[in-house]
């Protein structure tokens, strides 16, 4: 190899690295997902009120913190128990905040292998997740690649996020967020969807694996969340958020729901901090108009649900200890 050729290769690699650096930086700056999540982090950092209720999991559009007093909604889209664990660990060990109750999303979709294998938005989650530990627990060293992606190649494979960011930035001039909760997605109504069953089926297929309701890694991390809460004396309430009827039916076709919750309860009940499951999954079965899509509430649905939740939580705090296991939201 001639000296000239070596220099040319090095120059080209430097060009590539420089270009990558610029695109990585631009993508991180532009990504609406990161923008929204960082805003949430910022609000949480600034929050100095009483923190009775901390909502986590994929609860981002369910718990309206304007309705539920002393609460913060720290749920992010696509958040699974793995990410919840690391974020909660960060909160409890590094921020000085300690909620009295953790309102942890516990929908059917929270436990399967597909949610366990969601690794998008690493450029945001890199702040919290210990990828080495995760790789060890999952026995999959390729997980380290997600760290590399999050650190240096945020744009890699993420053109959809770029597209969404353009759409969001056009629709939202600024992030209208209150204690982590942001009103959004009210421009669509699931009741208007003509083929709701098909859309629900698609969604169920996307997030669940047939006959695999509880992923081993999710089981481990769910247990780790409970342990963490025990160590920090944070009470845990599992919440099944409202789902569209069609979506629930399609999920039920894929996984044994009863068996799943038996297992989940068995794990949770090992810990004294566990305060039961609040079950609202069928609360809006006859009201598709309260949903944005099969598994996300719209603003109206979120408001109605939070009112009901707030009422139930008020009862819980007034009459404790109270047996809340399998409480029906109806």
Residues that bind another protein (CB under 8 A): 1-2, 5, 12, 15-16, 19-20, 23, 119, 142, 145, 148-149, 153, 155-160, 162-163, 194-195, 198, 201, 205
Q: Is the dihedral of CA 40, 45, 48, 52 positive or negative?
A: positive
Nearer to another protein, 163 or 178 (CB): 163
251 membership: H or E segment, kind and range: helix 245-254
Measured CA to CA, the distance from residue 309 to residue 278 in angstroms comes to 9
Smallest distance from another protein to CB 209, Å: 11
Nearer to another protein, 125 or 241 (CB): 125
Q: What is the DSSP letter of 263?
A: H
Nearer to another protein, 41 or 149 (CB): 149
Nearer to another protein, 9 or 322 (CB): 9
CA-based nearest residue to 272, from 318, 315, 234 = 234
Nearer to another protein, 218 or 254 (CB): 254
Nearer to another protein, 25 or 178 (CB): 25
Q: What is the DSSP letter of 290?
A: G
Beta bridge partners of 237: 103
CA-based nearest residue to 247, from 202, 206, 205, 200 = 200
Smallest distance from another protein to CB 30, Å: 13
Distance spanning both ends of the chain, measured CA to CA: 75
Helix then strand then coil, in percent of the chain rounded to 5, is 55, 10, 35
Q: What is the DSSP letter of 43?
A: H
Smallest distance from another protein to CB 23, Å: 6
Smallest distance from another protein to CB 157, Å: 4
Smallest distance from another protein to CB 293, Å: 12
Smallest distance from another protein to CB 155, Å: 5
Query: Position of tokens 């929270």?
Result: 110
């Amino acid at each position: 190899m001639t000296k000239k050729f070596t220099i040319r290769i090095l120059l080209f690699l430097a060009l590539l690295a420089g270009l990558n650096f610029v695109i990585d930086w631009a993508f991180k700056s532009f990504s609406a997902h990161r923008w929204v999540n960082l805003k949430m982090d910022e609000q949480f950092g600034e929050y100095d009120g009483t923190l009775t209720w901390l909502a986590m999991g994929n609860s981002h559009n369910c718990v309206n913190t304007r309705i539920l007093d002393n609460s913060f909604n720290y749920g992010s889209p696509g958040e699974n128990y793995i990410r919840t664990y690391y974020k909660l660990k960060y909160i409890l060990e590094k921020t000085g905040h300690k909620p009295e109750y953790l309102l942890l999303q516990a929908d059917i979709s929270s436990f399967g292998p597909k949610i366990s294998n969601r690794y998008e938005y690493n450029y945001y989650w890199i702040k919290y997740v210990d990828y080495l530990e995760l790789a060890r627990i999952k026995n999959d060293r390729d997980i380290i690649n997600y760290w590399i992606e999050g650190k240096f190649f945020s744009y890699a494979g993420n053109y959809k996020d770029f597209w969404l960011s353009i759409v969001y930035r056009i629709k939202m001039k600024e992030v209208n967020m209150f204690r982590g909760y942001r009103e959004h997605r009210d421009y669509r109504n699931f009741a208007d969807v003509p083929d709701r069953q098909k859309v629900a089926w698609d969604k169920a297929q996307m997030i669940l694996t047939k006959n695999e309701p509880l992923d081993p890694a999710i089981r481990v991390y769910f247990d780790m969340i409970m342990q963490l809460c025990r160590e920090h004396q944070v009470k845990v309430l599992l919440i099944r958020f409202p789902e569209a009827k069609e979506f629930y039916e399609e999920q039920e076709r894929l996984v044994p729901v009863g068996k799943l919750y038996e297992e989940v309860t068995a794990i949770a009940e090992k810990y004294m901090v566990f305060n039961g499951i609040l079950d609202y999954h069928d609360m809006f079965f006859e009201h598709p108009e309260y949903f944005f899509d099969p598994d996300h509430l719209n603003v109206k649905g979120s408001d109605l649900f939070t009112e009901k939740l707030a009422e139930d939580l008020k009862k819980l705090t007034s009459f404790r200890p109270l047996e809340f296991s399998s409480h029906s939201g109806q």
